[in-house]
Structure 1
Amino acid sequence: MSNLRPLPLIQRVFAALALLVLLAGCATTPPDSVLAVPAPAQKYAAIVVDARTGKQLFEVSSTAQRYPASLTKMMTLYLLFEALESGRVSKQTQIPVSDNAASQPPTKLRFRRGESIDVDSAIRAIVVKSANDVAVAVGEYLGGSEVQFAATMTSKARQLGMTSTIFRNASGLPDDGQMTTARDMAVLGMALRQRFPQQFHYFSESDFMFRGRLVRGHNDMLGRVRGVDGIKTGYIRASGFNIVTSYNADGRNLIVVVMGADSARQRNDHVEALIQRSLSPTADGAKTRLMFAEQ
């Protein structure tokens, strides 16, 4: 197994004894197991990384080029968190929503001409709702234009060790030139937790209040598996259903990336299976045969 090189780790102790109950009824992974893959081979990619050590625990096509879809917004948020850290913005800073941003296709919050959104609400809108209008507004505000912001996103990706990622927009909406890999998304997932532990709580939120109404999210992994605390889902037709998931319990911290699933349900089932496999005492020595969905 290979090692990824995460940013310097910030030591945090997490305990979740309920995990023992969750796993008590689960059989350990046998030496030769079948792991059902919820996607055609040309779209599927996956990786599981021990985020504390950088050790790769599982991978299939993890360096193959894939469309990130709304996983792109993880980098948009990374740069917004940097702006918060530097003092360039505060959580109360108002971000104007341009006509261009407001015109983005759903999902979005739907702004009228001249409206704005504060940074704290913008973060929640991007994490929970995956709001394209808000992501573009953030990109325009921080970069001067979305094109320039995307160039900054790609430059930051290289700094983090994301060697195969090119960003073209802030939202993840379709662009043939916007590509990434499962490995690079794992690097970004680890970097977000390690660099911004004080902001990572946003990724565990499943809803938020905006202008008097409850906005619900669609990351169904939250609350499904004890220890899952984020991070981000994504979908466009070209990519299939993508997700980066953080698991943090009982002294274990995993980053799980699944790309190209046929449905959100199949994607989530696969993530759960990969978590259970990776927590098994026999995981390192297990042989895993992959069974792909029918084309």
Structure 2
Amino acid sequence: MPFVRRLALALVLLMTGLVHAWANPLLVVDRATLDVLYAEDAGQPWHPASLTKLMTAYVVFEELAKGTVTLDTPVTISRNAFNQAPSKSGLPVDSAVTLKDALYILVVKSANDMAVAIAETVGGSEANFVAMMNDTAQRMGLTATHYVNPHGLHDPRQVTSARDLAIIALYIEQSFPQYMPMFATGVINLGKARLESNNSLLEGFPGTTGMKTGYVCASGLNIVATVDRNGRRLLAVVLGGSSARERNERAAGLMLEALSGQLRPTGQTVLSLANRAGVEPIDMRPLICGKDAKAYVAEQEAEFPMGLKDQPSYLTGDIPVSEYTAVDLGRIRTGIALPRPRPAHVPAIPAPTSVGSASIESVLRPGLSVSGLDIALPRPRPADL
């Protein structure tokens, strides 16, 4: 980050009382080697917002691999799930989709109701699923990460770092590459609704393969992005953007610097990066949603104008957006007794023991055998007297 930008941001933060937060976390990693190409405050604790859903998806992928659930497992929108704040799927209470469709809606639309519905389905309860998330984070060595919910709606205890987010993304790709197309999808069609991703790199930056965006006031605008271009496999993390424009353009700019050779290996891998222990996550709310937001955004626009009106942009591609169609299975209710079967029918007149008709096997239904069935022939009508 240029010194001028750091100084300007420091002055803004000084005026707002956030003296300790004078740079936003940035990280660029070569996915083929795990080499760090650029890192700035990559170990700084940060609120993940909807980047939380990367871990939500990973936990589900593990359970799919174990066989505890399948992609066809129904995921039902409970009242608890329905009551979550937007972004949402738009599905009513008791409606259901398959787990596969739920994952697509989770990743692309970043639907908070779907995150809870998935957690309740896969974990038995939201709390139990969050425990699974934290267990997975511990197994991954994510020392800055702690989860309180599966969606990322703000809770001051929900925290991660750019370093930890990069590792989650790498785990997803290396362990479950079959699910990567979900993160490259730009639109979900659900009934008459068209649910769109906020990752504009998917339609404007050639080579983009995913992955996820996130935003709450306390975190600013975040992104984890992956790009495959010219034989390079890159990953960028940008946290705390003042706008979606800045976040997306900055991620694309970092990718271009890496592709052009301006960013080179730093001698560290993403695994060797250290998280900052004992440091509180920065709360960006005063600068993003508070009374100082207008001044802060104006300062950021002046320092980084890429993508503004009449300004150049890194996102100049015209890429067809990948679409996926999810299906609303309707309302599925449990705990309702099924109708009792009718008593077996006992014929008053015994059926003949043999049938003198031609075979109707292929007429009844191809492949369905009727051997062994005794079907009475119609009796002839009485002769007229």
C-alpha separation in 2, matches of 1:163 and 1:263? 28
Residue pair 1:97, 1:137 contacting (<8 A) in 2 also? yes
**Does residue 172 of structure 1 match 2:156?**
no
Letter in structure 1 aligned against 2:228: N
C-alpha separation in 1, matches of 2:41 and 2:64? 35
Q: Secondary structure at the match of 1:283?
A: coil
Consecutive unaligned residues of structure 2, counting only runs of 5 or more, are 14-20, 267-295, 301-385
Map of 1:1-295 to 2, 5 A cutoff? 41-42=21-22, 44-284=24-264, 294=299
C-alpha separation in 2, matches of 1:249 and 1:284? 16
Residue pair 1:221, 1:228 contacting (<8 A) in 2 also? yes
Letter in structure 2 aligned against 1:164: A
C-alpha separation in 2, matches of 1:42 and 1:176? 20
C-alpha separation in 2, matches of 1:204 and 1:81? 17
Residue pair 1:43, 1:239 contacting (<8 A) in 2 also? no
Q: Secondary structure at the match of 2:203?
A: coil
Residue pair 1:43, 1:66 contacting (<8 A) in 2 also? no
Q: Which has the higher strand share?
A: 1
Letter in structure 2 aligned against 1:53: T
Q: What is the aligned partner in structure 2 of residue 12 from structure 1?
A: none
C-alpha separation in 2, matches of 1:35 and 1:171? 36
Residue pair 2:78, 2:93 contacting (<8 A) in 1 also? yes
Q: Whose relative contact order is higher, 1 or 2, with alpha carbons under 8 Å and at least 6 apart?
A: 1
Residues 35/207 of structure 1: CA separation in 2 closer, same or farther (3 Å cut): farther
Aligned alpha-carbon RMSD (Å): 2.3
Letter in structure 1 aligned against 2:207: G
Residue pair 2:69, 2:122 contacting (<8 A) in 1 also? no
TM-score, normalised by the number of residues in structure 2: 0.63
Shift of 1:211: 2.6
Shift of 1:45: 0.6
Shift of 1:212: 4.3
C-alpha separation in 2, matches of 1:110 and 1:120? 17
Q: Deviations over 1:197-240 (max 9, x none)?
A: 11111100000221343322221110211111100000000000
Q: Secondary structure at the match of 2:201?
A: coil
Q: What is the aligned partner in structure 1 of residue 373 from structure 2?
A: none
C-alpha separation in 1, matches of 2:122 and 2:29? 31
Residues 183/154 of structure 1: CA separation in 2 closer, same or farther (3 Å cut): same
Letter in structure 2 aligned against 1:222: L
Consecutive unaligned residues of structure 1, counting only runs of 5 or more, are 1-31, 287-291
C-alpha separation in 2, matches of 1:179 and 1:232? 17
Q: Secondary structure at the match of 1:222?
A: helix
Residues 109/282 of structure 1: CA separation in 2 closer, same or farther (3 Å cut): closer
Q: Deviations over 1:2-48 (max 9, x none)?
A: xxxxxxxxxxxxxxxxxxxxxxxxxxxxxx97896897645611111
C-alpha separation in 2, matches of 1:89 and 1:204? 23
Residues 112/48 of structure 1: CA separation in 2 closer, same or farther (3 Å cut): same
Letter in structure 1 aligned against 2:164: D
Q: Secondary structure at the match of 1:284?
A: coil
Residue pair 1:121, 1:210 contacting (<8 A) in 2 also? no
Counting aligned pairs with the same residue, the percent is 37
